[in-house]
Amino acid sequence: MKIIAVEAIPYAIPYTHPLKFASGSVESAEHILIRIWTEDGIVGTADAPPRPYTYGETQISIKNVVEEIFAPQIVGLTVFDRGAIHAIMRRTIHNQVAKGAVDIALWDAAGKYMDMPVHSLLGGWTSSLRVSHMLGFKPAEELLDEAQRFGEEYGITTFKLKVGRRPIDLDIDAVHVLRDGLDDHVEIYLDANRGWTANEALEVLRRTEGTGLTLLEEPCDAKEMMSRRRLVEKAAIPIVGDESVPTAGDASRELLSGGCNAICIKTARSGFTEATEILGLCTGLGVDVTMGNQIDTQVGSLATVTFGAAHEATARRAAELSNFLDMEDDLLAEPLKIVDGRISARPEPGVGAHIDEEKLAKYRSDN
């Protein structure tokens, strides 16, 4: 059970279809693979996707904080010393994605020790999640083609449209083109990644009334408190906090101050431990949650399914799980599959993310 090494391996896998959104874009998955090795040969695995425009972390900063600060203090503890390891990591502020990946790798190793799938250990509510597909910035007709293709090929019936563009008419038109072109039962919601002001968001909501939008995520910067609160009060649909709520403390501040009334949980930045705290807060307060995607690989998406399928509240809505389809390749040995619009958690011990060593050798960028 004792941890003997913590690896942070940088790698890069190009995207065949880069994703563009209001706060940035991703052309290549330049991530860090975290591996926690134990004396018995059990390895815990997780993926860390740096998002500098969201949390300030980079590939190099994640590698350095894990290898230089966390690893020397973690080696010698066991994979069940999660509380002690979190106390060590808390001494370094921020670095959410690095901490989240260490946490997931610990859970993965602990599951393997107990011979139990982690989704059962976390709650075991169900075995699969409905998939929501994220539509990045594109002309409206291309967005409609993409949504129709994902509907036909994968059975996906929920789409998150990336918005936050100026002029706002670009996004308003896109909503109407999607609504007119897709079946009535298809769900559409929006994520502006702080691209608008609260007043622009209100105008978009007014001019898309009747289109059945279900959620509006991070419409403007949550730091613009007064206008954001006004938006939350006036909007007829939940305003979801995403990048404003990476921790349980942030989620409670935003919910209690009226900055949002729904929460996007991302295992990539919260791990399973803090995601559990955030979920408890949300169910206790009675607000909806979504399972978000930090433009994750298959390894990262499997972590999202593992957590999301474990709980009733996280399994209720479609989870964002399809970004990996736009990547040239992945490190996961057995690919994730979307069947009838759903992805399953893995029944084997741990999270079930077996790494293809040949692919890791091919894509790692430190040799």
Rounded to a whole number of angstroms, the minimum distance from the CB of residue 22 to ligand MUC is: 9
C-beta neighbour count of 75 within 10 angstroms: 14
What residues between 92 and 131 interact with ligand MUC by CB under 6 A? none
Which of these ranges, 57-65, 182-190, 196-204, 210-218, lies near Mg ion under the rule CB under 5 A? 210-218
Tell me which of 63, 99, 160, 266 is the catalytic residue. 266
N- to C-terminal Cα separation, the chain: 29
Could you give the CA distance from residue 256 to residue 75 in angstroms, rounded to a whole number? Answer: 39
Rounded to a whole number of angstroms, the minimum distance from the CB of residue 336 to ligand MUC is: 18
Could you give the CA distance from residue 306 to residue 300 in angstroms, rounded to a whole number? Answer: 10
Active site residue 242: yes
Instruction: Identify the residue among 31, 35, 51, 228 touching ligand MUC (CB under 6 A).
Output: 51
**How are beta strands 239-241 and 216-217 bridged, if at all?**
parallel
Please count the residues of the chain.
Answer: 367
Closer CB to ligand MUC, 54 or 306, in the complex: 54
Tell me which of 47, 103, 171, 191 is the catalytic residue. 191
Asked whether position 274 contacts Mg ion by CB under 5 A, the answer is: no
Residue 200: name its binding partner from ligand MUC, Mg ion, none (Cβ under 5 to 8 Å by kind): none
**How many amino acids of this chain bind ligand MUC (CB under 6 A)?**
10
Asked whether position 242 contacts Mg ion by CB under 5 A, the answer is: yes
Cβ–Cβ < 8 Å for 151, 81: no
Tell me which of 57, 162, 274, 330 is the catalytic residue. 162
Active site residue 266: yes
Instruction: Identify the residue among 38, 54, 95, 270 touching ligand MUC (CB under 6 A).
Output: 54
Q: CA torsion sign, 35 to 313 to 89 to 94?
A: positive
Could you give the CA distance from residue 153 to residue 172 in angstroms, rounded to a whole number? Answer: 27
C-beta neighbour count of 7 within 10 angstroms: 17
Active site residue 138: no
Which of these ranges, 29-37, 176-184, 288-296, 304-312, lies near ligand MUC under the rule CB under 6 A? 288-296
Rounded to a whole number of angstroms, the minimum distance from the CB of residue 14 to ligand MUC is: 18
Enumerate residues 6+ apart whose C-beta is below 8 A from 18: 25, 26, 27, 136, 326
Closer CB to ligand MUC, 20 or 362, in the complex: 20
Active site residue 184: no
Rounded to 5°, the CA angle 93-95-99 comes to 105
Give contact residues for ligand MUC (rule: CB under 6 A). Answer: 21, 51, 54, 191, 193, 242, 292-295
